[in-house]
Structure 1
Amino acid sequence: MAGLKTIIVLSFILAIGFLLVILSSALFKNYLTLLVVATYVIAPVPNWLCGKAQSQDDFMDSGSSSIVELGRFMTGFLVVMGIALPVVLAHCDQITIPAMAMSIIGGLLIYGTIISFTMFFREQEEF
Protein backbone atom coordinates (compact mmCIF):
# COMPACT_ATOMS: atom_id res chain seq x y z
CA MET A 1 0.00 0.00 0.00
CA ALA A 2 1.58 3.20 -1.18
CA GLY A 3 1.14 6.22 0.99
CA LEU A 4 1.72 9.90 1.17
CA LYS A 5 5.50 9.55 1.49
CA THR A 6 5.64 7.70 -1.82
CA ILE A 7 3.70 10.45 -3.57
CA ILE A 8 5.98 13.11 -2.11
CA VAL A 9 9.17 11.29 -3.14
CA LEU A 10 7.90 10.60 -6.66
CA SER A 11 6.79 14.21 -7.15
CA PHE A 12 10.18 15.44 -5.91
CA ILE A 13 12.02 13.18 -8.40
CA LEU A 14 9.66 14.29 -11.19
CA ALA A 15 10.37 17.95 -10.36
CA ILE A 16 14.13 17.31 -10.47
CA GLY A 17 13.75 15.64 -13.87
CA PHE A 18 11.82 18.58 -15.32
CA LEU A 19 14.28 21.00 -13.72
CA LEU A 20 17.20 19.26 -15.44
CA VAL A 21 15.46 19.40 -18.82
CA ILE A 22 14.61 23.10 -18.41
CA LEU A 23 18.12 23.92 -17.18
CA SER A 24 19.65 22.04 -20.11
CA SER A 25 18.06 24.59 -22.39
CA ALA A 26 18.28 27.71 -20.23
CA LEU A 27 21.92 27.40 -19.14
CA PHE A 28 23.24 26.85 -22.64
CA LYS A 29 20.84 29.33 -24.33
CA ASN A 30 19.58 26.78 -26.84
CA TYR A 31 15.96 25.78 -26.48
CA LEU A 32 15.95 22.76 -28.81
CA THR A 33 16.12 20.40 -25.85
CA LEU A 34 12.60 21.49 -24.88
CA LEU A 35 11.38 19.43 -27.87
CA VAL A 36 12.00 16.40 -25.67
CA VAL A 37 9.23 17.57 -23.32
CA ALA A 38 6.74 17.04 -26.17
CA THR A 39 7.65 13.35 -26.24
CA TYR A 40 7.03 13.11 -22.49
CA VAL A 41 3.54 14.50 -22.98
CA ILE A 42 2.69 12.50 -26.10
CA ALA A 43 4.27 9.15 -25.05
CA PRO A 44 1.39 7.76 -22.94
CA VAL A 45 -1.32 8.85 -25.41
CA PRO A 46 -1.04 5.90 -27.90
CA ASN A 47 -1.10 3.38 -25.07
CA TRP A 48 -4.16 5.05 -23.54
CA LEU A 49 -6.04 5.36 -26.84
CA CYS A 50 -5.34 1.80 -27.94
CA GLY A 51 -6.27 0.49 -24.51
CA LYS A 52 -9.64 2.23 -24.80
CA ALA A 53 -10.14 0.90 -28.34
CA GLN A 54 -9.66 -2.72 -27.23
CA SER A 55 -12.96 -4.53 -26.85
CA GLN A 56 -13.37 -5.94 -23.37
CA ASP A 57 -15.21 -9.24 -23.11
CA ASP A 58 -15.85 -10.68 -19.65
CA PHE A 59 -16.30 -14.24 -20.86
CA MET A 60 -13.50 -14.64 -23.38
CA ASP A 61 -9.95 -13.47 -22.83
CA SER A 62 -7.97 -13.86 -26.03
CA GLY A 63 -4.73 -12.48 -24.61
CA SER A 64 -3.63 -9.23 -26.19
CA SER A 65 -5.05 -7.81 -29.35
CA SER A 66 -3.12 -6.19 -32.16
CA ILE A 67 -4.42 -2.70 -31.37
CA VAL A 68 -2.92 -2.90 -27.86
CA GLU A 69 0.38 -4.10 -29.30
CA LEU A 70 0.37 -1.16 -31.74
CA GLY A 71 -0.17 1.24 -28.83
CA ARG A 72 2.70 -0.31 -26.89
CA PHE A 73 4.96 -0.10 -29.94
CA MET A 74 4.14 3.57 -30.52
CA THR A 75 4.65 4.38 -26.83
CA GLY A 76 8.01 2.58 -26.88
CA PHE A 77 9.01 4.47 -30.01
CA LEU A 78 8.22 7.82 -28.37
CA VAL A 79 10.12 6.89 -25.20
CA VAL A 80 13.20 5.90 -27.23
CA MET A 81 12.83 9.08 -29.30
CA GLY A 82 12.79 11.15 -26.10
CA ILE A 83 16.16 9.69 -25.16
CA ALA A 84 17.67 9.61 -28.66
CA LEU A 85 16.64 13.12 -29.76
CA PRO A 86 19.23 14.91 -27.58
CA VAL A 87 21.91 12.53 -28.87
CA VAL A 88 21.03 13.34 -32.48
CA LEU A 89 20.93 17.08 -31.73
CA ALA A 90 24.35 16.89 -30.07
CA HIS A 91 25.74 14.86 -32.97
CA CYS A 92 24.59 17.56 -35.42
CA ASP A 93 26.17 20.26 -33.19
CA GLN A 94 22.81 21.87 -32.50
CA ILE A 95 23.25 21.50 -28.71
CA THR A 96 26.27 20.95 -26.50
CA ILE A 97 27.27 17.67 -24.87
CA PRO A 98 26.49 18.85 -21.29
CA ALA A 99 23.02 19.95 -22.44
CA MET A 100 22.53 16.51 -23.98
CA ALA A 101 23.59 14.79 -20.76
CA MET A 102 21.30 16.94 -18.61
CA SER A 103 18.39 16.34 -20.97
CA ILE A 104 18.90 12.56 -21.02
CA ILE A 105 19.27 12.32 -17.24
CA GLY A 106 16.17 14.45 -16.76
CA GLY A 107 14.25 12.29 -19.23
CA LEU A 108 15.29 9.09 -17.49
CA LEU A 109 14.17 10.54 -14.16
CA ILE A 110 10.81 11.50 -15.63
CA TYR A 111 10.25 8.11 -17.29
CA GLY A 112 11.38 6.30 -14.14
CA THR A 113 8.94 8.33 -12.05
CA ILE A 114 6.05 7.52 -14.36
CA ILE A 115 6.87 3.81 -14.28
CA SER A 116 7.26 3.85 -10.49
CA PHE A 117 3.97 5.68 -10.08
CA THR A 118 2.11 3.07 -12.14
CA MET A 119 3.77 0.25 -10.18
CA PHE A 120 2.97 1.66 -6.75
CA PHE A 121 -0.58 2.76 -7.47
CA ARG A 122 -1.83 -0.11 -9.63
CA GLU A 123 -5.32 -1.28 -8.72
CA GLN A 124 -5.51 -4.89 -7.64
CA GLU A 125 -7.89 -6.99 -9.70
CA GLU A 126 -10.26 -9.23 -7.83
CA PHE A 127 -11.26 -12.56 -9.34
Structure 2
Amino acid sequence: MNSTESFRGNPLNKIIGLSIVLSMGFLLVVLAGIYGNWYPIINGIICAIAHLPVAITKALTSSNDYDFNFDPVTSSQGNFLKEAGQFVSAFLVVSGVFLPVLLHHSMILTKTAMVLTIVGGGLIYGTVYTFSTYFDEPEEDQLGEDVI
Protein backbone atom coordinates (compact mmCIF):
# COMPACT_ATOMS: atom_id res chain seq x y z
CA MET A 1 0.00 0.00 0.00
CA ASN A 2 1.49 3.34 -0.99
CA SER A 3 1.08 6.68 0.77
CA THR A 4 -1.78 7.96 -1.43
CA GLU A 5 -3.94 4.90 -0.66
CA SER A 6 -3.37 5.26 3.07
CA PHE A 7 -4.11 8.98 2.84
CA ARG A 8 -7.45 8.36 1.12
CA GLY A 9 -8.36 5.46 3.37
CA ASN A 10 -7.88 7.36 6.61
CA PRO A 11 -11.31 8.22 8.09
CA LEU A 12 -10.00 11.42 9.65
CA ASN A 13 -9.03 12.71 6.21
CA LYS A 14 -12.53 11.97 4.94
CA ILE A 15 -14.09 13.90 7.82
CA ILE A 16 -11.75 16.85 7.30
CA GLY A 17 -12.53 16.86 3.57
CA LEU A 18 -16.27 16.79 4.21
CA SER A 19 -15.89 19.64 6.71
CA ILE A 20 -14.08 21.71 4.10
CA VAL A 21 -16.85 21.07 1.56
CA LEU A 22 -19.48 21.98 4.16
CA SER A 23 -17.72 25.25 4.95
CA MET A 24 -17.48 26.04 1.24
CA GLY A 25 -21.24 25.50 0.94
CA PHE A 26 -21.96 27.88 3.81
CA LEU A 27 -19.49 30.39 2.34
CA LEU A 28 -21.35 30.35 -0.97
CA VAL A 29 -24.68 30.85 0.80
CA VAL A 30 -23.30 33.79 2.80
CA LEU A 31 -21.80 35.29 -0.36
CA ALA A 32 -25.20 34.96 -2.03
CA GLY A 33 -26.65 36.82 0.93
CA ILE A 34 -24.18 39.63 0.33
CA TYR A 35 -25.14 39.75 -3.35
CA GLY A 36 -28.86 39.91 -2.74
CA ASN A 37 -30.35 39.96 0.74
CA TRP A 38 -30.69 37.59 3.70
CA TYR A 39 -33.10 35.11 2.04
CA PRO A 40 -30.30 32.77 0.86
CA ILE A 41 -29.43 32.11 4.51
CA ILE A 42 -32.92 30.64 5.00
CA ASN A 43 -32.21 28.37 2.05
CA GLY A 44 -28.91 27.29 3.65
CA ILE A 45 -30.76 26.37 6.83
CA ILE A 46 -33.36 24.41 4.83
CA CYS A 47 -30.60 22.46 3.07
CA ALA A 48 -28.78 21.84 6.36
CA ILE A 49 -31.84 20.30 8.07
CA ALA A 50 -33.25 18.53 4.99
CA HIS A 51 -31.84 15.12 5.95
CA LEU A 52 -33.00 15.40 9.57
CA PRO A 53 -36.50 13.85 9.05
CA VAL A 54 -34.94 10.75 7.46
CA ALA A 55 -32.47 10.38 10.32
CA ILE A 56 -35.18 10.80 12.98
CA THR A 57 -37.62 8.34 11.40
CA LYS A 58 -34.82 5.86 10.75
CA ALA A 59 -33.87 5.98 14.42
CA LEU A 60 -37.50 5.59 15.49
CA THR A 61 -38.23 2.63 13.23
CA SER A 62 -34.94 0.77 13.45
CA SER A 63 -35.36 -2.69 14.86
CA ASN A 64 -32.48 -4.27 16.63
CA ASP A 65 -31.59 -7.95 16.79
CA TYR A 66 -33.57 -8.43 19.99
CA ASP A 67 -36.90 -7.19 18.64
CA PHE A 68 -39.08 -10.26 18.18
CA ASN A 69 -42.27 -8.38 17.36
CA PHE A 70 -43.90 -10.11 14.40
CA ASP A 71 -47.08 -8.03 14.42
CA PRO A 72 -47.69 -6.79 10.84
CA VAL A 73 -49.49 -3.69 12.12
CA THR A 74 -46.41 -2.34 13.87
CA SER A 75 -44.17 -3.08 10.86
CA SER A 76 -46.53 -1.17 8.56
CA GLN A 77 -46.51 1.75 10.99
CA GLY A 78 -42.71 1.72 10.83
CA ASN A 79 -42.82 1.78 7.04
CA PHE A 80 -45.29 4.67 7.15
CA LEU A 81 -43.02 6.67 9.46
CA LYS A 82 -39.97 5.97 7.32
CA GLU A 83 -41.77 6.97 4.13
CA ALA A 84 -43.20 10.10 5.78
CA GLY A 85 -39.67 11.11 6.80
CA GLN A 86 -38.44 10.53 3.27
CA PHE A 87 -41.32 12.62 1.90
CA VAL A 88 -40.61 15.54 4.23
CA SER A 89 -36.91 15.32 3.42
CA ALA A 90 -37.59 15.30 -0.32
CA PHE A 91 -39.93 18.28 0.11
CA LEU A 92 -37.18 20.22 1.88
CA VAL A 93 -34.60 19.34 -0.78
CA VAL A 94 -36.90 20.43 -3.61
CA SER A 95 -37.72 23.60 -1.68
CA GLY A 96 -34.01 24.25 -1.24
CA VAL A 97 -33.47 24.02 -4.98
CA PHE A 98 -36.52 25.92 -6.21
CA LEU A 99 -36.78 28.64 -3.54
CA PRO A 100 -33.83 30.60 -5.02
CA VAL A 101 -35.35 30.22 -8.50
CA LEU A 102 -38.66 31.58 -7.19
CA LEU A 103 -36.90 34.47 -5.46
CA HIS A 104 -34.97 35.28 -8.64
CA HIS A 105 -38.17 35.17 -10.68
CA SER A 106 -39.76 37.58 -8.19
CA MET A 107 -36.77 39.93 -8.65
CA ILE A 108 -35.73 39.51 -5.01
CA LEU A 109 -32.42 37.76 -5.77
CA THR A 110 -29.96 38.46 -8.54
CA LYS A 111 -28.98 35.70 -10.94
CA THR A 112 -25.55 35.39 -9.31
CA ALA A 113 -27.11 35.09 -5.86
CA MET A 114 -29.49 32.42 -7.16
CA VAL A 115 -26.65 30.33 -8.60
CA LEU A 116 -24.52 30.75 -5.47
CA THR A 117 -27.45 29.73 -3.27
CA ILE A 118 -28.28 26.62 -5.29
CA VAL A 119 -24.66 25.44 -5.47
CA GLY A 120 -24.05 26.22 -1.79
CA GLY A 121 -27.25 24.46 -0.74
CA GLY A 122 -26.32 21.44 -2.82
CA LEU A 123 -22.91 21.28 -1.18
CA ILE A 124 -24.46 21.59 2.27
CA TYR A 125 -27.06 18.87 1.68
CA GLY A 126 -24.57 16.57 -0.01
CA THR A 127 -22.16 16.91 2.89
CA VAL A 128 -24.83 16.28 5.54
CA TYR A 129 -26.06 13.25 3.60
CA THR A 130 -22.52 11.90 3.20
CA PHE A 131 -21.78 12.43 6.90
CA SER A 132 -24.92 10.53 7.89
CA THR A 133 -24.26 7.61 5.55
CA TYR A 134 -20.61 7.49 6.62
CA PHE A 135 -21.51 7.11 10.29
CA ASP A 136 -24.47 4.75 9.70
CA GLU A 137 -22.52 1.90 8.13
CA PRO A 138 -20.58 -0.48 10.37
CA GLU A 139 -17.01 -0.98 9.23
CA GLU A 140 -16.06 -4.36 7.82
CA ASP A 141 -12.90 -4.53 9.94
CA GLN A 142 -14.89 -4.37 13.17
CA LEU A 143 -17.31 -7.05 11.98
CA GLY A 144 -14.44 -9.42 11.23
CA GLU A 145 -12.81 -8.82 14.62
CA ASP A 146 -16.02 -9.50 16.54
CA VAL A 147 -16.46 -12.93 14.99
CA ILE A 148 -12.97 -14.16 15.90
- Shorter-chain TM-score: which interval? 0.7 to 0.9
Q: Which residue of 2 aligns with 1:25?
A: 33
Q: Which of 98, 110, 113 is the matching residue for 1:84? A: 98
Distance 1:117 1:111 in 2: 10
Q: What TM-score comes out, normalization by structure 2 length? A: 0.72
SS in 2 for 1:65: helix
Q: How far does residue 55 in structure 1 lie from its aligned partner after superposition? A: 6.9
CA contact (8 A) 2:101 2:114 kept: yes
Q: Does the 8 Å CA contact 2:100/2:118 hold for their aligned counterparts?
A: yes
Give the structure 2 partner of residue 69 of structure 1. Answer: 83
Instruction: Identify the match of residue 49 of structure 2 among 42, 45, 60.
Output: 42
Q: Answer 1 or 2: which has greater helix percent.
A: 2
The one of 2, 24, 42 aligned to 1:16:
24
Deviation at 1:29, TM superposition (A): 4.4
1:102 deviates by 0.4
- Aligned-partner residue type, residue 11 of structure 2: G
Aligned-residue offset at 1:68: 0.8
Cα distance between partner residues in 2 of 1:122 and 1:2: 17
| Structure 1: segments with no counterpart, 5+ residues | none
Counterpart of 1:4 in structure 2 is 12
The CA RMSD over aligned residues, in Å, is 2.6
Instruction: Summarize the Cα distance change of 1:41–1:67 in structure 2 as closer, same or farther, 3 Å threshold.
Output: same
- Look up the SS of the partner of 1:38 in the other structure: helix
The question of 1:119 aligning with 2:126 is answered no
Task: Measure, in 1, the Cα distance between the counterparts of 2:56 and 2:12.
Answer: 29
| Structure 2 unmatched ranges of 5 or more | 1-8, 144-148
Residues paired across the two proteins, number: 126
Q: Which has the larger radius of gyration?
A: 2
Rounded to whole Å, the distance in 2 between the matches of 1:5 and 1:16 is: 17
